[in-house]
Amino acid sequence: MTLSRLSFIISFILSTASISGQKIYSPTLSLQREDIFGDPEHAVSASIANEFETFFFNQTLDHFNYRPESYATFKQRYLINSNYWAGANSSAPIFVYLGAESPIDGATTIIGFLTDNAAQFKALLVYIEHRYYGESIPLGMSFEEALGDANVRGYFSSAQALADYAAIILHVKQNLKARDSPVIVVGGSYGGMLASWFRLKYPHVALGALASSAPILYFEDMTPQDAYYSVVTKDFKEASETCYQTIRDSWSEIDRVAQEPNGTSNLSKMFKTCKPLESGDEVKSYLKLLYARAAQYNDPPRYPVTQICSGIDGANTSENGILGKIFAGVVAYNGSSTCYVNPPTNVSQTSLGWRWQRCSEMAMPIGITSNSMFQPQPFILSNFTDGCNYQFGVVPRAHWVTTYYGGHDIELILRRFGSNIIFSNGLRDPWSTAGVLKNISESIVAIFTEKGSHCLDILVEKQTDPDWLVLQRKAEVEIIKGWIAKYYADLLAFKQ
Amino acid sequence: MTLSRLSFIISFILSTASISGQKIYSPTLSLQREDIFGDPEHAVSASIANEFETFFFNQTLDHFNYRPESYATFKQRYLINSNYWAGANSSAPIFVYLGAESPIDGATTIIGFLTDNAAQFKALLVYIEHRYYGESIPLGMSFEEALGDANVRGYFSSAQALADYAAIILHVKQNLKARDSPVIVVGGSYGGMLASWFRLKYPHVALGALASSAPILYFEDMTPQDAYYSVVTKDFKEASETCYQTIRDSWSEIDRVAQEPNGTSNLSKMFKTCKPLESGDEVKSYLKLLYARAAQYNDPPRYPVTQICSGIDGANTSENGILGKIFAGVVAYNGSSTCYVNPPTNVSQTSLGWRWQRCSEMAMPIGITSNSMFQPQPFILSNFTDGCNYQFGVVPRAHWVTTYYGGHDIELILRRFGSNIIFSNGLRDPWSTAGVLKNISESIVAIFTEKGSHCLDILVEKQTDPDWLVLQRKAEVEIIKGWIAKYYADLLAFKQ
């Protein structure tokens, strides 16, 4: 088990931590896989990923106010690769990756859409780190200090992040005298939401956006709260009906065993946990999020859902019955290890940072009511609010995202407003339930695959990629080429 | 001379006040005339103007951050007239006036575009006060207290104001269950900028915008700094070549007289000033802004520029020579009064509030370099900055407006992005030089008149309105009808 794998698993466990007696169940909204680093199959554009230079921009702390503190600045990190750029004189394009809820380190290795297409677009590549992650933390603080200070973390918001991106992109363009170079922003997951919102709010900065797996409709009542877990369920059911049944039956079995004398201890043994379990709920939370994660990142060629189900279906039933099967699923997913479920690790920035973002503004109501292989766990806003208030002293602004960015009746609203956004999705990704899956206008389009997983299209190309994925990426590239061609024609007419 | 006239004149004088040795010359960006209250010609829709009910909304102090202080709320005032509204069931439209840099009192009497068209559109009318003006001042403070506190005035920004409008409009729609009612926002001058920006930033809240006399391009280098005063000059020259020459020659004459023994005292007598002048510059500043004001608000049927020139051209030349003529212009404009130039009065909210807004973000570079009947007075950013720093302790964010709202290459940018904005202008209005005067796309259009003045089209209809003004308004109404008709068709298709 690699270090990165460990840190991802712990981020799952943490996101079910009991706060003020209220569990905040939260599937991670992140595009990073645990096993992506060091995968030899990812070698295709690995050399490009190493050609980046690191810069720091003197960023304004608070773009929207003019209080004395608003004028404070901090160093925001961004990475540039200009080796493939045809230059300002030919108005060659600029591809910008909008960093999301993690440090930008490694993004150039993971997000292949920019590096894989740099040569054919002759594009400048820019990867910008999101404020409060990695090395882009205000006031010279550590991540923990910044998140621990109510006044400092208060500037950690999506609107500020978008303004940061605008300021950096304009700065880069000015430095390179590349005023006429069209900018295409790319983002995935939360970063995909940022990319689509960026095109809508800053059309004068970005010509278009590729918003991969952006669940922009998972707010208020726009998407049923159980949409996410109903797709997790569907993915498992489609992989194997018996596997689905086993998982479905396993929760009450865990409850039953946990309530026996020495039940928690027995569970610990059954699951070879790294340290003794505190309750049966601990293993349930782990499994729930393991399945969510497998469904979300159900990437070819490995297909973790199939992998888990092979473990479950293929297990020797004589050993520990249902729970023996479930454990076989865990082993199939994780590989052979000395222990499972609760290995020691550190809290990741992604885990803590995203919890703050959910509690302040990204108040996505995700719950389980029915249509599920899981036990019901409805999202109750007041419980969520209590948890946020307890941990951060804030009440989530549950209506802000739709007030500032919209979302309701999006087909009606954007039918005659805006342009040049690709909403890409894979329908096996549970987040796709809150994505845009219909073309809205000629140039605000939905590109999805039946078998795709979370943000798959913007990851680095692999030799093993299935045809449908190759075709999806090709379609996206063609659309972006079309935007740029139209822009160059407009530019020519405009300059005359 | 009425009270309102006095207060306007003083706001002009104040905007040339010497700060830290630097003069900040600033024509008022406001749509309110001094003589509009109580004008019997404005009686057409006067009764509608009295049918409004006042409400207060619990507004969030800081929409963009999540600091503890951000969650403070204040009472924001808005006015509603529902007498003409056909109701939510028929998805009847909502017209919203976006208040600008003054209290909302009186706006229902002045801004006739809404009241005059309420019946034919069967529209709900809403007038919203801009934060920090009138009764919409945060933290229970007086206007002076709020503007005097660096932390409090720091939340006084255009982005916050737009978010305020979004929150109130959504609140009103929800209360009235009028989710499908299309919203048209209307604003003039700075409020016109807000209206166009609101449509761009909140297309899910407003279907379209009428942006009257909105100088959205008077930022950075998008408009030559002397554009404003070159139109003032042109207006006077077109009214009377001799008047223009007299004004042109008058500045050095004032300088000459002021430098004589007892010069300032003699000038005070010549101009019958209300209190002794402190310098010749005081009368020059007064005159400069008087002419600017006359040009900006050169409304029919009075046409103040013609009025001033009649005074100047018709004066008895034997009395005080050039300055006697100039004084005759002052009298022609102001009418008979006991004294002129510097009557006692109070600082208006508009004057002080707008100075803050210019110093923080609306850093419009307005100066005089050439092509002018005035003495050169170039805009020098460092001087402006020094003045702002001295008065408010802030450095203007001169690039923020174009970063957040755009403006550069606007025809190129909005050609394929956005819809439903009318940019209306009158070409005799000096602010029109920074307005949008070309159609950008099928539905982002420019409607201007050769003879029009500042925000004339959105003022209350008068029986004496010239044909070109009646036609301009009619064109605007037809365009808005077209937007709404298209929206209803889309809505019908969307609901099926």
B161 in A contact zone (CB under 8 Å) = no
**Annotated catalytic residue A399:** no
Lookup: tokens for A466: 């299935």
Return d(Cα A321, Cα A331) in angstroms, integer. 16
Q: What is the pLDDT of residues A339-381, one digit of tens each?
A: 999 999 888 999 999 999 999 999 999 999 987 999 999 999 9
pLDDT digits (tens, 9 = 90+) for A215-255: 999 999 999 999 999 999 999 999 999 999 999 999 999 99
Residue that is written with structure tokens 């003032």 in the block: B232
The predicted-structure confidence for A289-305, as pLDDT tens digits, reads as follows 999 999 999 999 999 99
The owner of tokens 């994780």 is A334
Query: Which stretches does DSSP call E strand in A89-133?
Result: 94-98, 124-128
Whether residues B406 and A203 touch (CB distance < 8 A) is answered with yes
CA distance B461 to B42: 7
In this model, does residue A8 exceed pLDDT 90? no
- CB–CB of B7/B343 below 8 Å? no
Judged by a CB distance cut-off of 8 A, whether residue A490 touches chain B is yes
The pLDDT value given to residue A346: 83
Do B394 and B151 form a contact (C-beta atoms < 8 A)? no
pLDDT digits (tens, 9 = 90+) for B427-483: 999 999 999 999 999 999 999 999 999 999 999 999 999 999 999 999 999 999 999
Of B170, B203, B491, the CB nearest to A417: B203
Shortest Cα distance, chain A CAs vs residue B54, angstroms: 23
- Chain A environment of B170 (Cβ under 8 Å): 399, 403
Active site residue B212: no
ipTM score of the complex?
0.93
Cβ-based contacts under 8 A for chains A and B: 154
**Annotated catalytic residue: which of B189, B212, B285, B310?**
B189
Please tell me which residue of chain B has the smallest CA distance to A400: B63
B395 interaction partners in chain A (CB closer than 8 Å): 71
Overall residue count recorded for chain B in this entry: 496
B82-93 confidence digits (pLDDT tens) = 999 999 999 999
Q: How far apart are CA A200 and CA A401, in angstroms?
A: 13
What is the per-residue pLDDT for A2?
Answer: 33
A394:B150 CB<8 A: no
Q: Which residues of chain B have pLDDT under 70?
A: 1-27, 34-46
- Cα distances (Å, whole numbers) of residue B392 to A70, A166, B22, B351: 14, 27, 14, 14
**Cβ–Cβ gap A154/B68 under 8 Å:** yes
Greatest Cα pair distance, chain B, in angstroms, is 84
Q: Which residue of A has its CA nearest to B155?
A: A65
User: In the structure encoding, which two tokens stand for residue B208, read together?
Assistant: 């379209």
Looking at the complex, report in whole angstroms how far the Cα of residue B354 sits from the nearest Cα belonging to chain A.
Answer: 14
The tokens of B373 are what?
């009947």
How many angstroms separate the first and last alpha carbons of chain B? 61
Record: contact B151-A67, CB cut-off 8 A:
yes
What is the pLDDT confidence band of residue A319, given thresholds at 50, 70 and 90? confident
Are residues B203 and A486, on separate chains, in Cβ contact within 8 Å? no
B 355-374 residues inside an 8 A Cβ radius of A = 360-361
Provide the pLDDT for residue B72: 97
- Given an 8 Å threshold on Cβ–Cβ distance, is A163 in contact with B403? yes
Mutate to test the interface with B, among A64, A149, A495 (most CBs of B within 10 A): A64
B442 touches chain A (CB under 8 A): no
Distance between CA atoms of residues B163 and B146, nearest Å: 20
Nearest CB to B64 within list A157, A415, A417: A157
Contacts of B413 in chain A (CB under 8 A): 203-204
Residue A26 predicted with pLDDT over 80: no
Active site residue B399: no
* CA atoms of A54 and A61, how far apart (whole Å): 21
Return the closest-CA partner of residue A211 out of A400, A385, A15, A447: A447
Which residue on chain A is closest to B486 by alpha carbon?
Answer: A416
Site from B62, B65, B183, B436 to mutate, A interface, most A CB atoms within 10 angstroms: B65
Interface of B with A in 193-232 (CB under 8 A): 200-205
> Which of A40-44, A162-166, A422-426, B299-303 is least confident?
A40-44
B136 exposure class (CB count in 10 Å sphere: 0-12, 13-18, 19+): buried
Asked whether B44 and B460 are in contact (CB, 8 A), the reply is yes
Q: How confident is the model at residue A19 (pLDDT cuts 50, 70, 90)?
A: very low
Catalytic residue chosen out of the listed positions B164, B235, B429, B457 = B429
In the prediction, which pLDDT does A370 show? 82
**Tell me: the pLDDT tens digits for A423-439?**
999 999 999 999 999 99
**Does the CB of A413 have a partner CB in chain B at under 8 Å?**
yes
Can you give the pTM of this predicted structure? 0.94
| Res A170: pLDDT | 98
Classified as helix, coil or strand, B131 is coil
Burial bucket for residue A438 (CB in 10 Å: 0-12, 13-18, 19+): exposed
* Contact criterion met (CB below 8 Å) for B32 and B104: no
Q: Are B209 and B183 in contact (CB under 8 A)?
A: no
